[in-house]
Amino acid sequence: MIRNNIEQVEQFFLAFIKEKGIEQIDLIDPKSKKIILSTDKKREGMSVSNTRILQISETVSIDDSLGISILSPIMGLEKKIAVLLVKIEK
């Protein structure tokens, strides 16, 4: 991501989504609060209203009735450049 290699990230997402139990993968820009890359192309460009997602500073998992969400900050050299959201079925 630091080298602006979004195409390679997208290829990784498409390979990873084929794994059993993985439902969705989103990459969120914390500055614009928008989904910049998603395995569900309809979600790209959508705003994220949950500010807790954007403020995470370490990898966390959230287990609810809909499934498990794993959130992880993607760090650049000095700051967070994105947030990775992986949704896993229960």
Residue 1 lies in a domain: no
Q: Residue 46 maps to which CATH number?
A: 3.30.450.20
Task: Tell me, yes or no, whether 37 lies in a domain.
Answer: yes
Residues in CB range of 36: below 8 A, 6 or more apart:
6, 27, 28, 29, 44, 82
| Predicted pLDDT of residue 45 | 94
Tally of domains within the chain = 1
User: Which DSSP letter does residue 66 get?
Assistant: T
Evaluate whether residue 52 is within a structural domain.
Answer: yes
Please indicate, yes or no, if residue 59 is contained in any of the structural domains: yes
- Domain residue limits at 47: 6-88
Tens of pLDDT, residues 2-59: 556 788 889 999 999 999 999 999 999 999 999 999 999 999 999 999 888 899 999 9
pLDDT at residue 56 in the model = 93
Burial class (CB in 10 A: 0-12, 13-18, 19+), 68: middle
pTM of the model: 0.87
pLDDT (tens digit per residue) in 64-88 = 888 999 999 999 888 999 999 999 9
